[in-house]
Structure 1
Amino acid sequence: MLNAAEAAMESAADDDAERARNRAKLYAPPRGTRRGGGGRRVRPPGAGLDMASAQALAAQLAAEDARLTGGATS
Structure 2
Amino acid sequence: MDQAAEDDAERARNRARLYAPPKGRGRRGPVPGVTMNRAKAAQMVAQLAAEDARLGG
TM-score (normalised: structure 1): 0.41
Structure showing the higher helix proportion among its residues: 1
Larger radius of gyration: 2
- Higher RCO, 1 vs 2 (CA within 8 Å, ≥6 residues apart): 2
TM-score, structure 2 length as denominator? 0.47
